[in-house]
């Protein structure tokens, strides 16, 4: 009885306003993510964003002096993703993640210090580089991911009860690689998830200009997330037979595309969305070869170490409910889910899942963020109907615990 009373009081407290609900998720998630994050370099994919963020914050330039040798053999590809551009050595990555951390580096300027780094996979590779402080980039990753998950909670609140939305947020926050990867270090995923979650939430509130601007920031972080605002805008417009969502979401998100084109043109001398990636991804996208695509797709779904349906098994129990959820969901839910699916297919067509990766799955994170409202609807409209059956209830709880255990184990091990 006491536990029931406490739960009721808590539920009423967080239901007082959207801000209260948001804070009830944001604060504990930030503390948990911060306590488990890596406050040191452990993945060379992160190195490039850290270096770029420091230079953007302290010099205002994407040019990275002192890292020229990392853009050439034998270090190229083994110690970050650097390349030679007309103005000097730069990051291959889109600028979004580094730009998000740059203000913190500007406010807390730490001096660069020469440090020796080595790649554990290639013990023969060891070199000295100017090294910026790591903690500002990790703090940004923690805050971005915690806020992304909290915004998903607000989105769930548009669909279900306070209790359902609050609990679903914790499942998403701890039962996926949002915890073990996105919040752990400054990959591109946490910032991209933040903007996608904000864009989806604002679309649910019919704030189409703001939604488009948020999606535009996601494009500046992960260019092929552009399919998400396209799907959201077109879905809303087609359902309501009006141009307003299409125009507003489209125009606002196109500012992110324009910003990316401008950055790439000034940095790489190529006015395209490809930037430092060159033509390799475009070639993979248009090639008719399907074997590697299917391998990537099946591996990304079911690989024991990288398959998101294996490592977040509660999603498997929701798959049969996606169709009834689709039929009963609002157009913004459907549009975001379609955009997420197209993004995932593009990701596995242009890139690859890597079973030898030192982290758990990360490429599906943006797609899962966009499609999260549909997964939540699948729980409400299908799985919850079977909740009174003891077997289903127990199976779902076990699946959630297994997912949280897998993510927690990854943090402990890696």
Count each helix (H run) and each strand (E run) in the chain, helices first.
Answer: 19, 4
Q: DSSP string covering 200-219, please?
A: HHHHHTT-HHHHHHHHHHHH
- Residue 43: what pLDDT? 82
Contact 311, 360 (CB under 8 A): yes
What 103-107 contacts at long range (C-beta under 8 Å, 24+ apart), as own/partner pairs, is: 103/57, 104/53, 104/57, 104/136, 104/139, 104/140, 105/53, 105/54, 105/56, 105/57, 105/58, 105/132, 105/133, 105/136, 105/137, 106/57, 106/58, 107/57
318: left (phi over 0), alpha (psi -120 to 50) or beta: alpha
Judged on CB neighbours under 10 Å (0-12, 13-18, 19+), 413 is exposed
**What local confidence, expressed as pLDDT, does residue 2 receive?**
47
Query: What is the model's pLDDT at position 334?
Result: 96
Question: What three-state secondary structure class fits 243?
Answer: coil
The beta strand positions in 120-240, using DSSP E, are 122-131
pLDDT at 274: 81
Give the integer Cα–Cα distance in Å for 253 and 256.
5
Residue of 44, 38, 311 whose CA lies nearest to 183: 38
pLDDT in tens, 312-356: 999 999 999 999 999 999 999 999 999 999 999 998 888 777 776
Q: What is the dihedral of CA 37, 42, 44, 45, to 10 degrees?
A: -20
- Cβ–Cβ under 8 Å, residues 68 and 90: no
Which runs of consecutive H residues, i.e. helices, occur in 205-330? 208-221, 227-240, 244-268, 280-286, 291-302, 308-311, 314-318, 322-328
- Low-confidence residues of the chain, pLDDT below 70? 1-7, 278-286, 288, 356, 387-390
**What's the DSSP call for residue 268?**
H
Residue 114 belongs to what H/E stretch? strand 113-119
Could you identify the residue written with the tokens 């110690």?
Answer: 79
Please report the pLDDT score of residue 186 as a whole number. 96
pTM confidence score: 0.95
């Amino acid at each position: 009885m006491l536990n029931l009373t406490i739960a009721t009081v808590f539920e009423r407290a967080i239901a007082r306003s959207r801000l209260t609900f948001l804070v009830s998720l944001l604060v504990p998630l930030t503390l948990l993510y911060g306590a488990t994050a890596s406050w040191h370099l452990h993945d060379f994919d992160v190195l490039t964003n850290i270096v770029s963020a420091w230079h953007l914050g302290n010099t205002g330039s994407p040019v990275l002096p002192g890292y020229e040798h990392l853009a050439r053999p034998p270090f190229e590809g083994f110690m970050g993703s650097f390349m030679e551009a007309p103005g000097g050595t730069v990051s291959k990555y889109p600028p979004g993640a580094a730009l998000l951390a740059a203000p913190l580096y500007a406010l807390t300027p730490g001096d660069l210090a020469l440090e020796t780094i080595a790649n554990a996979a290639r013990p023969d590779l060891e070199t000295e580089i100017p090294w910026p402080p790591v903690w500002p980039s990790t703090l940004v990753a923690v805050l971005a991911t915690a806020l992304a998950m909290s915004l998903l909670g607000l989105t769930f609140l548009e669909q279900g009860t306070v209790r359902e939305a609050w609990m679903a947020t914790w499942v998403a926050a701890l039962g996926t690689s949002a915890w073990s990867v996105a919040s752990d270090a400054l990959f591109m995923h946490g910032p991209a998830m933040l903007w996608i979650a904000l864009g989806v939430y604002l679309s649910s509130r019919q704030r189409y200009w703001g939604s488009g601007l948020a999606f535009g920031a996601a494009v500046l972080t992960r260019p092929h997330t552009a399919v998400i605002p396209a799907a959201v805008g077109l879905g809303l417009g087609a359902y309501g037979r009006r141009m307003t969502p299409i125009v507003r979401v489209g125009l606002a998100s196109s500012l992110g595309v324009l910003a990316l084109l401008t950055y790439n043109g000034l940095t790489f001398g190529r006015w395209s969305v490809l930037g430092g990636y060159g033509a390799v991804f475009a070639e993979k996208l248009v090639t008719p070869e399907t074997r590697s695509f299917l391998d990537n797709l099946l591996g990304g779904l079911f690989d024991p170490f990288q398959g998101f349906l294996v490592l977040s098994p509660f999603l498997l129990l929701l798959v049969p409910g996606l169709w009834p959820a689709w039929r009963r969901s609002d157009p913004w839910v459907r549009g975001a889910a379609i955009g997420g699916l197209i993004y995932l297919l593009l990701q596995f067509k242009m890139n690859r899942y890597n079973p030898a990766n030192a982290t758990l799955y990360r490429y599906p994170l943006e797609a899962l963020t966009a499609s999260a409202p549909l997964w939540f609807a699948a729980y409400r409209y299908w799985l919850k109907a079977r909740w009174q059956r003891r077997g289903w209830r127990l199976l779902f709880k076990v699946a959630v615990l297994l997912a949280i255990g897998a993510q927690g184990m990854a943090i402990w091990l890696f």
